[in-house]
Structure 1
Amino acid sequence: MINTFAKFTFRSLAKHKVYAGINLVGLAVGMAGAIVLFQLVKYHLSVDSYHAHADRTYRVVVDLHLEDGSVEQERGSAYVLHETLKKEFSYVRDAAYLARKELTIRVDHQGTSRKFLKKEHLAFTNPDFFKIFDYKWISGSASAMGAPNQVVVTERYARKYFGNDNAMGKVIRANSRENLVIAGIVADYPDQTDFKQDIFVSLPTLKKIVPEYGYEDWGWIDGGRETFVTLRSPEDKAAFEAQMPAFAKKYYGADGKVFHYHLQDLPDVHFNIAYGGKIKYNTIIVLATVGILLILIACFNFINLSTAQAFKRSKEVGVRKVLGVSQAQVFWLFIQETAVLTFTAGAISLVLAWLFAPMLSQWLGLNVRIDILRDPQLLDFCAALLLFVVTLAGVYPAFVISRFNPVKAMKGLLKENNRSFFSVRKGLVVTQFSISFVLIAVSTLIILQSEFLKNKDLGMDKDLILHLNLPETETSKLTALRNELSALPEVTDLSFFRSAPSVQTSGGGTIKFENRDWEKFVARSRAADDHFVKTYGLKLVAGRVPVHSDTLSELLINRKMVRALGLKSPEAALDRRLHVGDAGKTGTIVGVLSDFNNGDLYTGIEPTIVFADQSRYRWAGVKLNHVNASTINRIGAVWQKQFPENVFEYSFYDEEIAKFYQREELATRLTTTFALLSVCLSCLGLFGLAIFAIEQRTKEIGVRKVLGASVAGITAMLSMDFLKLVLVAIVIASPVAWYFMHRWLQDFAYRIDIHWGIFAWAGFLAAGIALLTVGFQSVRAALVNPVKSLKSE
């Protein structure tokens, strides 16, 4: 019996090659998209979940509730916090401090000396970090991290620095200042982690390398320095947070009401953008939903084509039933056909996903792998996916076909009673194109918003500015660097500063204006020299640029600050005294700048102060009139002359700003890609239905041509039935698309309007593609000789 069924299955598929091919391609593409999205969603949901104590590990974050009613969310914490929490709370089992800092590492090995500038891959921490997070120790132990000048490296960095030699006990030098002894080697971290450090320097060493940091200051909060704790039980979280108001009052006094400490779950560290997360949890839901929608569209195509073919195969079913084949056997015969197609499509989908994975990996900066033999979760997903597709795509058409009355089927009378089935097909087509319309509209909006962010005037110049790091701020070195770089013909200006305009990290604090009390708002600080305004093209609306100074004496403020202080005009701020809280000094306001963005365009303009403080300078901004490879080489030679023990690295300011919007670039690529996939799948199904509809009306087309109908008239007649369904889909999907677009735009302080042109474009694109798909078949049918059409039945 099984062999007989198998023969019938393959003969049937061979006989209906076009429909089988359309279903095969549709299912393969839909499942490939779902597999890739599954791997992406799985990666993000599994980040740092492998740690043994992940369910009771938290990052201690603080929300600053300011008097003006605003709330600033800080992921960083004071240095003293981790030690204090462990001492005062019995249910805090382990407390770790992780401080990220850029260091130049020099490695002397086998007669050669190499230097490396380490940024994201280096951090300072204490022994508890390795109790909270799981690392496999190859050599050494975490206890060494309690002593100064100790370092732990990963296996790959041990090989990178010392080849096949044993790295234990070897010495590396940090910032040409401190020798660090390798006291431990740990296995390389897995892909699914946000802690991508390869060099762990013992925490006591931080005080030697950065002695000026406020180690005992509870108000010194830095986003690059975080506190993690492991509680003895997850149930202790509520008790911990209930004691935080009293804790804040104890250490901050009257300001305790400002500092609202709470615990952030470890998974939320990855998803919470407000605290520096990598991706929104809502984005994961959207990606999972898109994967499901792709499968549904592919299944809808299968159902549509299968039910459409049902009436062509009605005589075949009638003959089988007359010969004694039961309804159940007919049902399982058609389920078997679906299974064969689905499993074949599944194999093709794995190949397509495997081919697409490298491109996705490049987009995301992740290692997205498609390896079903080594990934049991992917294997389980593929098995469940195949079962789901066979069930959803196969059951309804098999049920419809197996219930055919054999007498009516033999006589061809079933064609008169197909209205309900056709209504189902129309509903599925409308659903498919509704999904496609929403994806097209949303992806169009994301593209437009991304372009808007890239091209928006930030209130300053970002082109042809080269950023160089400053390892030291000694006056003689900065003076020599300025003089030699300014002598280059390509250099038009140069500024030293703590952070450039419009970057995501900036200091700030409260201020006192004249004899007033502390203001209720926070002002952002920009430590920069007197060339800052000219180098970045900032616009003075009143006053002048401060005179050269190594420390705070004269100040610049922006228009936003003028309004925040309640002053009537920029001129009213000139020659007034302002005390800057985070600098601890008072200066005179000598100029007012036009507003410019301190950060990315997710946030608005903030009150800003610009003042000199040479001890804070970390960067040089070099304004160029043109740039080429030789320019960079000459600038590098000058820089290396002043800082011979350090690694020369540079970046272009406009590229730094562009990195702020990588999430939007990624969203653009993903939504555009999967929107096109959904449209292609929908049109594939529409193409098959068009073929079927035209075959059913071959004789009618012949009669119409004999009676004088034109090719254009017949094409319009055949296309209009399908175009109406697409137009209905556009009407239904427009409110849904508007809702998702409106929600997505809420994250931006600066955003475009949702105008009718987006809907018109999405509708035109969806309808146009559908019209081309159906129109192609319609034109072919209209051009057929009517004599041949009339002989077809």
Structure 2
Amino acid sequence: MLRNYFRIAWRNLVKNKVYSAINMTGLGIGMAGAIIIFQLVSYHLGVDKHHRQADKIFRMVVDLHLEDGSVEHEKGSAFPLHTALRKEFANVSHTAYLAQRELTLSIEEANNSRKFFEKSSAAFTDSEFFKIFDYQFIAGNATVLNLPGQAVLTERYAKKYFGKSNPMGRLIRINNAENVTVAGVIKDFPEHTDFKKDIFVSLPTLKKLIPEYGYEDWGWIDSNRETYVSLRSEEDREALEQQLIAFAKKIHGADSNVFHYHLQPLSDVHFNMHYGGKIKYYTIIMLATVGLLLILIACFNFINITTAQSLKRSKEVGIRKVLGVSQWQVFWLFIHEAALFTGISFILAILLSKLLMPMISNWLEINLDINVFADFQLLAFSLALLIFVVCAAGIYPAFVISNFNPVRAIKGLAVANDRGTFSVRKSLVVVQFSISFVLIAVSMVIILQSRYLKNKDLGLNKELILHVGLPDTGTTKIAALSNEIPRIKEVASISFFRNPPSSQTGNGGSIKFENRDWEKFVARSRSADNHYVATYGLKLIAGRNPIQSDTLHELLINNKLVKALGLKSLHEALNKRLVVGDMDNKTGVIVGVLSDFNNADLYSNIEPTVIYASKKHYRSAGIKLQNLSASTIPDIMKVWQKHFPEYVFQYSFYDEEIAGFYKREELASNLTSMFALLSVFLSCLGLFGLALFSIEQRTKEIGIRKVLGASIASITTLLSMDFLRLVGIAIIIASPVSYYFMKKWLQDFAFRIDIEWWIFAVSALLAVAIACLTVGYQSIKAALANPVQTLR
């Protein structure tokens, strides 16, 4: 019986090649989109779930409640926190401090010295980290990280540094200052983790490498230094949260109302954007929804085309019933037909998803693959997807067709008067184009916002500025770079600083203006020399540029700070004293006011800012270029390496750094555009199939109209209007829905585009134009046909 069902289904597939191709292509594309989205969603939901005690692991975060009512969320923590938690709370099982830092590593070999710059692969920690998180040691053990001068490498980095030779006991020199011995090797971390560290250096080594770090300062909070805890049980979380209130009072005294400590579950670290998460839960939900919608559009196509074709097969069904075939048997015949289509489409979907996945993985900078039989989760999803598609796409058409009255079916009247089927078909077309319109409109807003972020005037110059690292802030070396680099013909100026004007990292603290009390707001700070303004094109609107100094003496402030201080004019701020909290309460004199510039990314508003000299805090040099030639960077590198021969020369362009702030938006733009195109293509496939069938049914009517004098334009309009009317209804329904999603997505940005009426108009025109092209081709072709041949 089953064999017979599939043989009949195969005959029907071969007989109706065009409709079969439309159905299989639509289902294949829909399932491919669903498979890709499933891999993306499962990757993000599975991040760091491989740790056995994941539900008991938390990161200590702190919310800073400022006097002006604002709250700053910090994922970092002060150094003494991890030891204090371990000593004072019985419900804490283990605590670990993880400090990320850029390092230059040197491997000394016979007659050869190899250097590596590690931007984000290195971290300092102790053995407690490996008691909280699951890592498998191949050689050595975690206890070595409690001693100074020790390091643990992953397998891949052991090979990177030492090739096939045994790495154990080998020496690595850090920043040309401290030697560490490789005392352990661990297996490489899995892909689905946020702890992408390959070098773990012992925490006592950090104290030797950076003795001036605030090891006892509870107010020194750095976002690159995090504290993790594991609790004895999940139920201890609430109790510990309550105990942390008294703990904050004990540590911070009168300032305890500022510091609010919280336990952030490990499962929340990847998704919470307040604390530096990678992706929002909302985005995951949206991705899953889009995947479901793609499948539904593909199923709607199958339903529409299959039920539309049912008139052609009505006599076949009628004869089967007359010959004694039951309604249930007819139903299962068409279910098997849907299963055959789905099975072939699934093979197409796997091929298509394998083709697209490398491109998407490149966008996301993660390594994802489609391997159904090697991935149990994907295999289970694929089987569930197959069953769902067969049921969703097959049950309704099978029910409609198997329910035909045999007498009416043989006479060819089974579907002609079936208005219910026709209304369902129209509803499905409306739903398809509503989904496509929403995706088109939302994609347009994301693209426009991404373009706005890239092109917005930040109040500074970001073009042709080269950033290079500054390993040593010795006076002689800075003076040498200041003299030698500007001699390169393409260089206009050079400035030394801790952070560039617009940066996602920065310092800040309280300030005191003249004899007033400490202000209730926080002012952001930038440590920079007196060439900072010229190099970055900042606009001085009052006063003058500071004189050259190695420490805080003269200050620049921005216009936002003048307003925050409540001063009536810019000149009221000049020559006044300002105490800067994050510079150990040092006092400087305000000598200039700058026009406002975006001191952070465009998610945040412009904040009050102070700029002052502090040579010991400089970390980078910004080199303004007049133009860029093939020899510019090599010439700069030659000068730099002359003064820092022990380090690896690293550079980046400032405009690329700023573009990197909005990588998420670029990714969202790429993904939504791709899925919008897929949904539009699927909708057009369905519309094409329906238009083709409708025109086939009206061939003689078209011939008669032409004989009676109807023009090609009138016939084309007649054939197209039924479908365009449905598209128009879809646009009306989808417009408020798309507005909601646009507004929801844009609310994260302090600086954003307005949702203008023309966005909906352009989206509507695109949808109508696509529908016209889809239906119009078949309509014009039918209108141009010879009426004599069509009437025959």
- Give the equivalent residue in structure 2 for 1:490: 490
- Give the equivalent residue in structure 2 for 1:352: 352
- Give the equivalent residue in structure 1 for 2:157: 157
Q: Is the 8 A contact 1:99 1:125 kept in 2?
A: yes
- Give the equivalent residue in structure 2 for 1:15: 15
Q: Is the 8 A contact 2:540 2:593 kept in 1?
A: yes
Once the two structures are TM-superposed, the CA of residue 293 in structure 1 deviates from its matched residue by 0.4
Q: Is the 8 A contact 1:357 1:368 kept in 2?
A: yes
- Give the equivalent residue in structure 1 for 2:148: 148
Q: Is the 8 A contact 2:105 2:173 kept in 1?
A: yes
- Give the equivalent residue in structure 1 for 2:62: 62
**Amino acid paired to 2:576:** R
- Matches of 1:202 and 1:216 in 2, distance apart? 18
- Matches of 1:249 and 1:555 in 2, distance apart? 35
Shifted more, 40-49 versus 14-23: the winner is 14-23
- Matches of 2:76 and 2:293 in 1, distance apart? 40
- Matches of 1:597 and 1:413 in 2, distance apart? 70
**Amino acid paired to 1:704:** R
Q: Is the 8 A contact 2:311 2:416 kept in 1?
A: no
**Amino acid paired to 1:555:** L
Once the two structures are TM-superposed, the CA of residue 680 in structure 1 deviates from its matched residue by 0.3
Question: 3-state SS of the aligned residue for 2:200?
Answer: strand
Question: 3-state SS of the aligned residue for 1:148?
Answer: coil
- Give the equivalent residue in structure 2 for 1:683: 684
**Amino acid paired to 2:648:** V
Once the two structures are TM-superposed, the CA of residue 726 in structure 1 deviates from its matched residue by 0.1
Once the two structures are TM-superposed, the CA of residue 249 in structure 1 deviates from its matched residue by 0.7
- Give the equivalent residue in structure 2 for 1:719: 720
Q: Is the 8 A contact 2:5 2:337 kept in 1?
A: no
Q: Please show how residues 673-712 of structure 1 align to structure 2 within 5 Å.
A: 673-712=674-713
- Give the equivalent residue in structure 2 for 1:325: 325
- Give the equivalent residue in structure 1 for 2:88: 88
Q: Does 1:77 align with 2:77?
A: yes
Q: Is the 8 A contact 2:26 2:682 kept in 1?
A: yes
- Give the equivalent residue in structure 1 for 2:472: 472
Q: 1:734-774 CA distances to partner (integer Å, 9 max, x unpaired)?
A: 00000000010100000110011110111100111011100
**Amino acid paired to 2:458:** L
Q: Is the 8 A contact 1:109 1:162 kept in 2?
A: no
- Give the equivalent residue in structure 2 for 1:654: 655
Once the two structures are TM-superposed, the CA of residue 109 in structure 1 deviates from its matched residue by 2.8
- Matches of 1:589 and 1:281 in 2, distance apart? 45
Question: 3-state SS of the aligned residue for 2:87?
Answer: helix
**Amino acid paired to 1:462:** K
- Matches of 1:193 and 1:2 in 2, distance apart? 47
Shifted more, 118-127 versus 409-418: the winner is 409-418
- Matches of 2:210 and 2:572 in 1, distance apart? 40
**Amino acid paired to 1:51:** H
- Matches of 2:654 and 2:276 in 1, distance apart? 21
Q: Does 1:304 align with 2:304?
A: yes
- Matches of 1:415 and 1:330 in 2, distance apart? 16
- Matches of 2:477 and 2:2 in 1, distance apart? 86
Q: Is the 8 A contact 1:154 1:198 kept in 2?
A: yes
Q: 1:148-170 CA distances to partner (integer Å, 9 max, x unpaired)?
A: 11110101111111111111111
**Amino acid paired to 1:518:** W
Q: Does 1:316 align with 2:277?
A: no
Shifted more, 107-116 versus 717-726: the winner is 107-116
- Matches of 1:745 and 1:415 in 2, distance apart? 47
- Structure 1, unpaired ranges of 5+: none
**Amino acid paired to 1:61:** V
Once the two structures are TM-superposed, the CA of residue 110 in structure 1 deviates from its matched residue by 4.5
Question: 3-state SS of the aligned residue for 2:631?
Answer: helix
Q: Please show how residues 327-726 of structure 1 align to structure 2 within 5 Å.
A: 327-584=327-584, 585-726=586-727
Q: Does 1:109 align with 2:109?
A: yes
When normalised by structure 1's length, the TM-score is: 0.99
Q: 1:639-688 CA distances to partner (integer Å, 9 max, x unpaired)?
A: 00000100001101001000001111001100001001000000000000
Question: 3-state SS of the aligned residue for 2:366?
Answer: coil
- Matches of 1:299 and 1:413 in 2, distance apart? 26
- Give the equivalent residue in structure 1 for 2:198: 198
Question: 3-state SS of the aligned residue for 1:629?
Answer: coil
- Matches of 1:385 and 1:558 in 2, distance apart? 57
- Matches of 1:161 and 1:367 in 2, distance apart? 23
Question: 3-state SS of the aligned residue for 1:548?
Answer: coil
Once the two structures are TM-superposed, the CA of residue 373 in structure 1 deviates from its matched residue by 1.6
Q: Is the 8 A contact 1:507 1:525 kept in 2?
A: yes
- Matches of 1:487 and 1:33 in 2, distance apart? 55
**Amino acid paired to 2:706:** K
Q: Does 1:25 align with 2:25?
A: yes
Q: Is the 8 A contact 2:150 2:182 kept in 1?
A: yes
Question: 3-state SS of the aligned residue for 1:115?
Answer: strand
- Matches of 1:110 and 1:722 in 2, distance apart? 77
Once the two structures are TM-superposed, the CA of residue 124 in structure 1 deviates from its matched residue by 0.4
- Matches of 1:49 and 1:3 in 2, distance apart? 45
Q: 1:318-377 CA distances to partner (integer Å, 9 max, x unpaired)?
A: 011111111111000000100000000001100100011111111110111001121010
Question: 3-state SS of the aligned residue for 1:67?
Answer: coil
How many residue pairs match? The answer is 791
Q: Please show how residues 763-782 of structure 1 align to structure 2 within 5 Å.
A: 763-782=764-783
- Matches of 1:613 and 1:785 in 2, distance apart? 86
**Amino acid paired to 2:38:** F
When normalised by structure 2's length, the TM-score is: 0.99
**Amino acid paired to 2:507:** G
**Amino acid paired to 1:545:** N
- Matches of 1:663 and 1:177 in 2, distance apart? 37
- Matches of 1:68 and 1:520 in 2, distance apart? 5
- Matches of 2:489 and 2:751 in 1, distance apart? 38
- Matches of 2:415 and 2:671 in 1, distance apart? 43
Once the two structures are TM-superposed, the CA of residue 629 in structure 1 deviates from its matched residue by 2.4
- Matches of 1:603 and 1:723 in 2, distance apart? 43
Question: 3-state SS of the aligned residue for 2:452?
Answer: helix
Question: 3-state SS of the aligned residue for 1:315?
Answer: helix
Q: 1:354-403 CA distances to partner (integer Å, 9 max, x unpaired)?
A: 01111111111011100112101001110000000000000000000001
- Give the equivalent residue in structure 2 for 1:744: 745
Once the two structures are TM-superposed, the CA of residue 78 in structure 1 deviates from its matched residue by 0.2
Identity across aligned pairs (percent)?
Answer: 65
- Matches of 1:450 and 1:160 in 2, distance apart? 37
Question: 3-state SS of the aligned residue for 1:413?
Answer: coil
**Amino acid paired to 1:72:** E
Once the two structures are TM-superposed, the CA of residue 2 in structure 1 deviates from its matched residue by 2.8
Q: 1:227-268 CA distances to partner (integer Å, 9 max, x unpaired)?
A: 000001111110111111111110000000000100111121
**Alpha-carbon spacing, 1:307–1:383, altered in 2? closer, same or farther (3 Å):** same
- Matches of 1:366 and 1:628 in 2, distance apart? 34
- Matches of 1:531 and 1:553 in 2, distance apart? 15
Once the two structures are TM-superposed, the CA of residue 516 in structure 1 deviates from its matched residue by 1.2
- Matches of 1:348 and 1:125 in 2, distance apart? 48
- Matches of 1:67 and 1:326 in 2, distance apart? 78
Q: 1:450-494 CA distances to partner (integer Å, 9 max, x unpaired)?
A: 111111110110011110100000000110111110111111111
Q: Is the 8 A contact 2:574 2:590 kept in 1?
A: yes
**Amino acid paired to 2:463:** D
- Matches of 2:638 and 2:31 in 1, distance apart? 54
Shifted more, 244-253 versus 732-741: the winner is 244-253
Q: Is the 8 A contact 1:245 1:257 kept in 2?
A: no
RMSD over aligned Cα atoms: 0.8
Question: 3-state SS of the aligned residue for 1:271?
Answer: coil
Question: 3-state SS of the aligned residue for 1:182?
Answer: strand
Question: 3-state SS of the aligned residue for 1:243?
Answer: helix
**Amino acid paired to 2:268:** D
Q: Is the 8 A contact 2:249 2:256 kept in 1?
A: yes
Q: 1:499-536 CA distances to partner (integer Å, 9 max, x unpaired)?
A: 10111000011111111111110110100001001100
**Amino acid paired to 2:289:** T
Once the two structures are TM-superposed, the CA of residue 9 in structure 1 deviates from its matched residue by 1.4
